Amino acid sequence: MQSSSSVDIRRFLPAMALAGACAVLTGCVVAPAYPAYEYDTAVVGDVYAPVAPPPLQTEVIPVAPSPAYVWIGGSWGWSGGGYRWNPGRWAMPPRPGYGWHPGGWNHGPRGWQGRGGHWGAR
């Protein structure tokens, strides 16, 4: 003869397993497909390089994660005495009505001056 407590536990075992699985899965984190780069926000100050940046690289633009995302094209950044390519990626504007204003490089008396891109009103 079985006790009534063991019968009750077996009856609720599937529900308890489902609740445990839900609790475990709610702790999952989905990382963005594209890493964040320092040009996500306006760059404070200008960057000077002694040589011109290489030509922009050709990029294959993947399908947007949603219609709300904006494509930020790749760019050259100056770091550690050389240029480093920051690949393009999709990003969500920080607020409605904002778009990405790309930076660029201009030649001046102090060398090549780089200004980072930034979010701003369209």
- The domain of 70 spans 35-121
Looking at residue 47, its pLDDT comes to: 87
72 in any annotated domain: yes
CA angle 38, 84, 50 (to 5 degrees): 105
7 in any annotated domain: no
Number of domains the chain contains: 1
Q: Read off the tokens for 5.
A: 């407590």
Q: Which helix (H) or strand (E) holds 90?
A: strand 89-91
Question: What confidence tier does 27 reach under pLDDT thresholds 50, 70, 90?
Answer: very low
Which residue's entry shows tokens 């609790």?
23
Check pLDDT > 50 for residue 40. no
3 in any annotated domain: no
Question: What confidence tier does 10 reach under pLDDT thresholds 50, 70, 90?
Answer: confident
**Strands in 10-81 per DSSP E:** 47-49, 70-72, 75-79
